[in-house]
C-alpha cells in the first residue's frame, strides 16, 4: 500500500543546512538551528515558542530523556544553554572547559549530560544534583560522537582513532583503537546463539565511513569488522532495530539491512537502491515499525516487517538541491526532513485513530487540527471542520459535532450552509468520552455523566433544567461507560448496574443489576437492545425494558467494541471487534427456541483498522493515515456470490428475500429444504408454506396449512418443533401452551409410550389404561412378555371398578401369565425332558381354549 503523507508544516531559513531535534518522548516541540547563531523552538503546528540567541554558531543540542530540557552548546562560549520546556525558561551552566565544546548528549536513563570538547576533554553534569565531573584527557583529539547505554555507560569516539567506554563517574572501563575516524557510536544487543549477556553490551561504530566495527564489552579482544560492497559508496548512517538487525544507508543511494545473528553475521537480508544519486539520511520508528531513507528529492518509507513493500514515497519537487536529515518523533506521528537549502518540512505519518459515528454519519480526525464529518450512505459530501485543539475525543450527533481535550469541549453545528462554531464548555474533570443526540450532550468524566443541552434553551428555562449530573446525589456508583440514543441515556457502572434514563424527563426508566462490573455498553440505534461487556470480558445482550438478557456466544475476551447494523431492514445484526478480527452475530427475536443470539462468522481486519460503521455488511474503518477504508464482512458474501455456503449465511442472518433468490439460483431441493427448516425455526409459517411448495413437500404444506391460524405462540412453536422432529422441545412448548394435552397426543401418535404414560399421569389419568394396553400390545409384539404383562395389569387395575371387559381381561391376563411362564421355562428347557415340555404346551393350549370358550359366557 503506497500512501501519501500529508505535509503539516514547512519552515525555511535560507542558506545552509539545518540542525534540528525533536523533543523526546512527547514530540511537541522541535528545536532548529540555522546558520544565524540562534536556536528556534517551534511547537508541532509551527508556532514559535521561544528563541535562544547564542554568542556564536550552534555546535550541538539535545533534549533530555523526558523532553523537559533542551541543552545547547555554541562555538563561542563555554556555557551550556538550557531551556526548560515546561516553564519556557532559559538558563546557563558554566562548563568550566577552556577549549571549544564539540559534542553534547543527555543520558537515556537519568539526568546526566555529557559534553565533549575539541581537545578530548569530557564533562559529566548531573542536572538533579548540579554536580559536575570534569575528565581531562579522556581523548587526545576532538570528541566527535558518543552514546549512552541504558545502564548509563558512555561510549565516545574521537578523532584520535579510539573509542572509550566510561561509567557515569567518568572512569574509563574499556578503550579500543580503530583504524580510522570513528563515527556514529551506538550501544545495542547483538544476538549470540549462546548466552546473551544481559543489557546492551555491544558497541558498534562506523570506521572511516567504510566498515562497521562491532565489539562486545565482555569480549573486547574479538571485535568483528564488517565491510561492504564498493559500489554502495560510504556509510552515511546506520540504525539497529528488532532482534539484532542493522539498517545502513550508503552514499550512493543504497538502503541495506544486515543481520548480526552469529550464524549469519553481516549477511545482507535486504538491499534496495532507494535513491538514484545519493542518500543523505535514514531513520527508524519503532512505534510505527517503519524505516525511511531520504536522498535526492524524495523520501521512501518501508515497513520493517515487510521490507520489500514500499509503504510510501514522498517527492519534494521543489527541493532541487536535495534533502538532508530525516527524523521521527518518538510516537511516530511526525517525520521531519531538512533540506540542503535550509528548509524544514514536517509530515504527518500517523494520526491518533479518533472517530465516532451516529447513525450513518461519521466524524474522524483527518489531520492534527481537522475533523472530517461525512455521511456517504446518505450521499452527503464530506465537510472538514478546523478545530481549535488536537482533540483526544470526538463525538458526533445528528446535528452537531464536538471535540475536546482534558476538561474542555468545543461544539459545532452542522448546517446546510456549513459548520458553525457554537460554544465551548468546561467540565469538572477530564472527559473520557462524550456522546451527542439531536439536542443533548452527555460527557463522562471521573465516574459521572453530565447531561446537558447542546444549545442553550430559551431564556425562560432554568440553568438547572439544562444540565444534570448522574448518578443522582446520594448514589455512590462509579460510571465507566455511557451511550446516548435519541430517547435514552444508558450508563454502566463498575458495580454492575446498567441504568436507562429517559432523556425527555430525566427519569430513570430501568435499572439492571449484573453480578460483575460493567466495562462497556452499546445500545442499538433506537435503544431497544443493549450489548454490554462485563469485567470478565463476557458479552451479553440486554432488553432494557424487562431485564431479559442472553449471553453472546463465542465472545472473545479481546473484544473492545460493538457496532450495530445501521441498514434499516436488518434489525438485530451486530458485530464485535478486536484489533485483528470482526465477529458477526444475529439476534433472533422470535424462534421456537425463544430469543437467541447466533454467531455467524468472523472476518479478518487489515492492520490497524478501527471499525466505525456497519452498513449492510460493509464495515467502514478508520486508518492511521486519517482516512477511511471499507471492509466487506465475510459473513455477507451472499450479497455478491451465489453458492450453497452463502445460503446458510443468509439464513443465519435471517435475510429471507436474499435466501429465496439463492434457492432459485441453486435449484436443488436441498436448498429449499434448508430454507424451509429455517422458516420453521423462525416461525414464519406463511413463508414456510411457500418454500415447501417450491420443494414439492406436499405433506409439510398440508401440515402447515393445518396450523396456520394458531395464535397461541407456544402451541404454534410446539407444532413447528414437532415438524422439525424436535419432540422434547415440542413437548415442553405444548406443556406451556393453552392445550397441554397436545403433548400427550403427540407422544401417543409417535408411540412413545413411556413418555405418553408419564404425561398421562400428569394430564389425563383416564387415558392410562388405554395407553398401557397399547403399550402392552407393542411389548408383546416384540416379545417382551414380562413388561407386557405388567402394563396389562396396569391397564386393568386402573380401571377395574368400572370395567365391563373384566372377563376378557381375565382371559388375557391368564393367557399372558401362561405365555410368561413358558417364556421363563424356555430358558431351562434343556433341563426338562422333552415329553414334559410338550405336555406343558398341551396343557396350556387346552386351558386357553377352555377359557376362551367358557369365560365370555359367564
Ligand atoms: C516564552 O518566553 C519568551 C521570553 O523568554 C517569550 O518571548 C515567549 O513569548 C514565551 N512563549 C510563550 C509561548 O509563552
Ligand atoms: C425502534 O425502531 C423501530 C423501527 O425503526 C420502531 O418500529 C420502534 O418503534 C422503535 N422503538 C423505539 C423504542 O423507538
Ligand atoms: C422483553 O422485551 C423484549 C423486547 O420488547 C421481548 O422481545 C421479550 O420477549 C421480552 N422478554 C420477556 C421475558 O418478557
Q: How many CA atoms lie within 13 A of 101 on its CB side?
A: 31
Q: Is 526 in the pocket of ligand 2 (CB under 6 A)?
A: yes
Cα of 37 vs centre of ligand 3, distance in Å, is 76
Instruction: List pLDDT tens digits, range 525-556.
Output: 889 999 999 999 999 999 988 888 999 999 99
Ligand 3, atom 11, lies closest to the CA of 548
Cell numbers for 333: 506521528
Q: How many residues does the chain have?
A: 858
* Residue 33: C-alpha distances to residues 57, 297, 329, 692 (Å): 8, 22, 18, 82
Query: How many domains does one find in the chain?
Result: 2
Mutational test site, ligand 2, from 528, 566, 569, max ligand atoms within 8 Å of CB: 528
Ligand 3, atom 13, lies closest to the CA of 548
Closest ligand to the CA of 512: 3
Cα of 662 vs centre of ligand 3, distance in Å, is 32
List, in sequence order, every residue forming a beta bridge with 215; answer none if it has no partner. Answer: 203
Closest C-alpha among 22, 36, 38, 32 to residue 343: 32
Indicate the range of 143-152, 460-469, 698-707, 732-741 predicted with least confidence: 460-469
Ligand 3, atom 14, lies closest to the CA of 546
Q: State the average pLDDT over residues 504-519.
A: 92
Ligand 2, atom 8, lies closest to the CA of 526
- pTM score, two decimals? 0.73
DSSP string, 92-126: EEE---SSPEEEEEE-SSSSEEEEEETTS-EEEEE
Cα of 510 vs centre of ligand 3, distance in Å, is 14
Q: Is residue 111 part of a domain?
A: no
Are 60 and 72 in contact by the 8 Å Cβ rule? The answer is yes
Give the confidence band of 858 by pLDDT, cuts at 50, 70, 90. very low
Please state, rounded to an integer, the average pLDDT across all residues of the chain: 88
Q: Is residue 846 part of a domain?
A: yes
pLDDT greater at residue 374 or residue 840: 374
Cα of 51 vs centre of ligand 1, distance in Å, is 8
pLDDT of residue 790: 77
Ligand 3 pocket: which residues have CB below 6 Å?
A: 543, 545-546, 548, 589, 595
pLDDT of residue 849: 55
Q: Is residue 838 part of a domain?
A: yes
CA dihedral 781, 785, 786, 789 (to 10 degrees): 80
pLDDT of residue 801: 45
Mutational test site, ligand 3, from 548, 572, 589, 714, max ligand atoms within 8 Å of CB: 548
Q: Is residue 482 part of a domain?
A: no
Cα of 512 vs centre of ligand 2, distance in Å, is 21
Q: Is 528 in the pocket of ligand 2 (CB under 6 A)?
A: yes
Q: Is residue 387 part of a domain?
A: no
Mutational test site, ligand 1, from 49, 51, 52, 85, max ligand atoms within 8 Å of CB: 49
- Quick count: other Cβ atoms within 10 Å of Cβ 134? 15
Indicate the range of 102-106, 304-308, 630-634, 823-827 predicted with least confidence: 823-827
Cα of 429 vs centre of ligand 1, distance in Å, is 28
Residue 569 has pLDDT above 60, yes or no: yes
Cα of 48 vs centre of ligand 1, distance in Å, is 9
The rounded distance, in Å, linking the Cα atoms of 280 and 325 is 7
Contacts of 718-725 spanning 24+ positions with Cβ under 8 A: 718/742, 718/743, 720/592, 720/680, 720/681, 720/683, 720/685, 721/592, 722/746, 723/680, 724/592, 724/677, 724/680, 724/681
Q: What is the three-state SS of 575-627?
A: EEECCCEEEEEEEECCCCCCCEEEEEEEEECCCCCEEEEEECCEEEEECCCCC
Closest ligand to the CA of 544: 3
The rounded distance, in Å, linking the Cα atoms of 400 and 358 is 10
Q: Is residue 395 part of a domain?
A: no
Question: Is residue 242 within a helix (H) or strand (E), and if so which, with residue range?
Answer: none
Cα of 524 vs centre of ligand 2, distance in Å, is 10
Domain interval for residue 582: 552-639
Mutational test site, ligand 3, from 512, 524, 546, max ligand atoms within 8 Å of CB: 546
Phi and psi angles of residue 75, each rounded to the nearest 5 degrees, phi first = -80, -10
Ligand 3, atom 7, lies closest to the CA of 589
Cα of 517 vs centre of ligand 1, distance in Å, is 48
Ligand 1, atom 3, lies closest to the CA of 50
Cα of 184 vs centre of ligand 2, distance in Å, is 67
To which residue does cell 450521499 refer? 379
Of 599, 618, 639, the domain-final residue:
639
Q: State the average pLDDT over residues 738-762.
A: 87
Cα of 128 vs centre of ligand 1, distance in Å, is 24
Atom number in ligand 3 closest to CA 529 = 4
For residue 582, what is the domain's CATH number?
A: 2.20.25
Of 589, 624, 639, the domain-final residue:
639
Are 121 and 99 in contact by the 8 Å Cβ rule? The answer is yes
Question: Is residue 458 within a helix (H) or strand (E), and if so which, with residue range?
Answer: none
Atom number in ligand 1 closest to CA 51 = 3
Torsion-angle region of 562 (φ positive above 0: left; ψ -120 to 50: alpha; else: beta) = beta
Mutational test site, ligand 3, from 541, 543, 682, 736, max ligand atoms within 8 Å of CB: 543
Instruction: List pLDDT tens digits, range 182-204.
Output: 999 999 987 765 555 667 889 99
Q: Is residue 812 part of a domain?
A: yes
Cα of 50 vs centre of ligand 1, distance in Å, is 5
The rounded distance, in Å, linking the Cα atoms of 112 and 90 is 18
Atom number in ligand 1 closest to CA 90 = 5
Cα of 56 vs centre of ligand 1, distance in Å, is 22
Cα of 594 vs centre of ligand 3, distance in Å, is 10
Residue 845 has pLDDT above 70, yes or no: no
Of 584, 609, 639, the domain-final residue:
639
Q: State the average pLDDT over residues 646-671.
A: 90
Mutational test site, ligand 1, from 43, 88, 90, 91, max ligand atoms within 8 Å of CB: 88
Atom number in ligand 2 closest to CA 571 = 4
Question: Is residue 131 within a helix (H) or strand (E), and if so which, with residue range?
Answer: none
Residue 139 has pLDDT above 70, yes or no: yes
pLDDT of residue 5: 61
Q: What share of the chain is helix, strand, coil (3-state, %, to 5)?
A: 20, 40, 35
Q: Is residue 621 part of a domain?
A: yes
Atom number in ligand 2 closest to CA 528 = 13
pLDDT of residue 371: 94
Cα of 327 vs centre of ligand 1, distance in Å, is 26
Indicate the range of 343-352, 374-383, 583-592, 840-849 predicted with least confidence: 840-849
Give the confidence band of 797 by pLDDT, cuts at 50, 70, 90. low
Instruction: List pLDDT tens digits, range 679-695.
Output: 999 999 999 999 999 98
Ligand 2, atom 1, lies closest to the CA of 526
Amino acid at each position: 500500500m503506497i500512501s501519501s503523507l500529508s505535509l503539516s508544516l514547512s519552515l525555511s531559513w535560507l542558506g545552509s543546512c539545518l540542525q534540528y531535534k525533536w523533543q523526546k518522548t512527547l514530540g511537541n516541540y522541535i528545536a532548529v538551528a540555522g546558520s544565524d547563531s540562534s536556536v528556534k523552538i517551534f511547537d508541532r503546528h509551527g508556532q514559535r515558542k521561544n528563541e535562544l540567541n547564542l554568542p556564536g554558531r550552534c555546535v550541538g543540542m539535545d533534549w533530555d530523556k523526558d523532553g523537559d530540557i533542551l541543552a545547547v552548546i555554541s562555538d563561542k562560549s563555554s556555557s551550556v544553554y538550557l531551556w526548560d520546556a515546561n516553564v519556557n525558561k532559559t538558563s546557563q551552566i558554566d562548563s568550566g572547559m577552556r577549549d571549544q565544546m564539540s559534542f553534547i548528549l543527555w543520558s537515556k536513563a537519568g539526568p546526566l549530560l555529557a559534553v565533549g570538547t575539541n581537545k578530548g576533554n569530557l564533562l559529566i553534569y548531573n542536572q538533579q544534583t548540579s554536580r559536575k565531573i570534569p575528565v581531562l584527557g579522556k581523548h587526545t583529539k576532538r570528541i566527535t560522537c558518543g552514546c549512552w547505554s541504558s545502564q548509563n555507560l558512555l561510549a565516545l569516539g574521537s578523532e584520535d582513532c579510539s573509542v572509550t567506554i566510561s561509567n557515569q563517574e567518568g572512569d574509563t572501563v574499556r578503550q579500543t583503537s580503530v583504524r580510522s575516524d570513528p563515527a556514529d557510536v551506538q550501544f545495542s544487543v547483538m544476538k549470540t546463539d549462546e548466552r546473551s549477556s544481559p543489557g546492551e553490551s555491544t558497541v558498534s561504530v562506523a570506521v572511516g565511513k567504510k566498515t562497521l566495527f562491532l565489539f562486545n564489552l565482555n569480549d573486547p579482544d574479538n571485535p568483528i569488522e564488517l565491510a561492504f560492497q564498493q559500489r554502495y559508496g560510504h556509510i552515511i548512517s546506520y540504525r539497529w532495530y528488532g532482534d539484532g538487525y542493522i539498517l545502513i544507508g550508503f552514499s550512493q543511494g543504497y538502503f541495506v539491512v544486515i543481520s548480526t545473528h552469529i550464524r549469519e553475521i553481516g549477511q545482507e537480508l535486504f538491499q534496495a537502491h532507494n535513491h538514484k544519486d545519493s542518500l543523505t539520511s535514514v531513520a527508524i520508528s519503532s512505534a510505527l515499525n517503519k524505516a525511511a531513507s531520504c536522498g535526492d528529492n524524495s523520501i521512501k518509507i518501508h515497513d520493517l516487517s515487510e521490507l520489500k513493500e514500499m509503504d510510501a514515497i514522498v517527492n519534494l519537487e521543489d527541493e532541487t538541491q536535495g534533502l538532508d536529515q530525516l527524523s521521527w518523533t518518538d510516537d511516530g506521528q511526525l517525520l521531519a526532513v531538512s533540506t540542503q537549502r535550509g528548509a524544514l518540512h514536517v509530515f504527518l505519518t500517523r494520526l491518533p485513530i479518533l472517530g465516532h459515528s451516529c447513525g450513518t454519519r461519521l466524524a474522524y480526525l483527518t489531520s492534527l487540527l481537522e475533523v472530517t464529518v461525512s455521511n456517504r450512505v446518505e450521499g452527503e459530501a464530506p465537510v472538514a471542520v478546523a478545530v481549535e485543539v488536537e482533540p483526544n475525543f470526538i463525538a458526533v450527533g445528528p446535528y452537531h459535532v464536538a471535540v475536546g481535550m482534558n476538561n474542555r469541549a468545543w461544539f459545532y453545528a452542522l448546517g446546510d450552509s456549513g459548520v458553525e462554531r457554537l460554544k465551548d464548555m468546561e467540565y469538572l474533570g477530564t472527559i473520557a468520552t462524550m456522546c451527542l443526540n439531536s439536542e443533548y450532550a452527555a460527557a463522562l468524566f471521573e465516574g459521572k455523566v453530565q447531561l446537558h443541552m447542546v444549545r442553550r434553551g430559551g431564556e425562560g428555562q432554568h440553568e438547572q433544567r439544562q444540565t444534570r449530573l448522574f448518578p443522582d446525589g446520594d448514589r455512590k456508583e462509579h460510571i465507566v461507560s455511557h451511550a446516548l440514543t435519541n430517547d435514552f441515556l444508558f450508563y454502566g457502572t463498575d458495580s454492575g448496574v446498567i441504568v436507562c434514563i429517559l432523556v425527555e424527563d430525566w427519569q430513570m426508566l430501568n435499572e439492571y443489576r449484573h453480578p460483575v462490573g460493567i466495562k462497556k455498553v452499546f445500545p442499538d440505534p433506537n435503544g431497544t437492545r443493549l450489548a454490554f461487556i462485563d469485567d470478565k470480558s463476557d458479552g451479553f445482550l440486554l432488553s432494557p425494558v424487562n431485564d431479559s438478557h442472553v449471553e453472546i456466544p463465542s465472545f472473545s475476551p479481546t473484544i473492545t467494541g460493538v457496532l450495530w447494523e445501521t441498514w434499516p431492514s436488518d434489525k438485530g445484526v451486530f458485530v464485535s471487534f478486536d484489533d485483528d478480527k470482526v465477529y458477526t452475530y444475529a439476534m433472533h427475536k422470535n424462534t421456537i427456541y425463544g430469543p437467541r443470539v447466533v454467531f455467524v462468522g468472523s472476518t479478518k481486519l487489515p492492520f490497524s483498522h478501527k471499525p466505525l460503521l456497519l452498513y449492510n455488511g460493509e464495515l467502514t474503518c478508520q486508518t492511521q493515515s486519517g482516512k477511511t477504508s471499507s471492509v466487506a464482512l465475510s459473513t455477507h458474501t451472499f450479497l455478491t456470490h451465489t453458492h450453497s455456503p452463502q445460503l446458510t449465511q443468509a439464513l443465519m442472518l435471517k435475510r429471507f428475500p436474499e435466501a429465496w433468490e439463492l434457492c432459485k439460483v441453486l435449484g436443488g431441493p436441498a436448498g429449499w429444504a434448508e430454507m424451509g427448516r429455517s422458516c420453521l425455526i423462525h416461525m414464519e409459517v406463511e413463508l414456510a408454506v411457500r418454500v415447501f411448495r417450491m420443494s414439492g413437500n406436499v405433506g409439510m404444506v398440508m401440515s402447515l396449512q393445518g396450523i396456520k391460524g394458531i395464535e397461541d405462540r407456544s402451541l404454534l412453536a410446539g407444532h413447528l418443533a414437532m415438524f422439525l422432529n424436535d419432540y422434547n422441545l415440542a413437548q415442553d412448548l405444548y406443556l406451556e401452551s393453552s392445550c397441554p394435552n397436545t403433548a400427550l397426543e403427540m407422544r401417543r401418535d409417535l408411540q412413545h409410550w413411556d413418555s405418553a404414560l408419564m404425561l398421562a399421569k400428569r394430564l389425563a389419568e383416564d387415558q392410562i389404561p388405554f395407553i398401557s394396553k397399547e403399550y402392552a400390545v407393542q411389548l408383546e409384539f416384540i416379545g417382551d412378555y414380562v413388561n407386557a404383562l405388567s402394563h396389562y395389569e396396569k391397564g386393568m387395575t386402573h380401571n377395574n371398578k368400572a370395567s365391563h371387559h373384566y372377563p376378557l381381561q381375565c382371559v388375557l391376563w391368564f393367557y399372558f401369565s401362561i405365555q410368561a411362564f413358558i417364556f421363563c421355562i424356555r430358558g431351562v428347557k434343556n433341563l426338562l425332558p422333552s415329553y414334559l415340555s410338550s405336555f406343558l404346551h398341551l396343557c396350556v393350549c387346552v386351558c386357553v381354549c377352555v377359557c376362551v370358550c367358557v369365560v365370555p359366557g359367564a
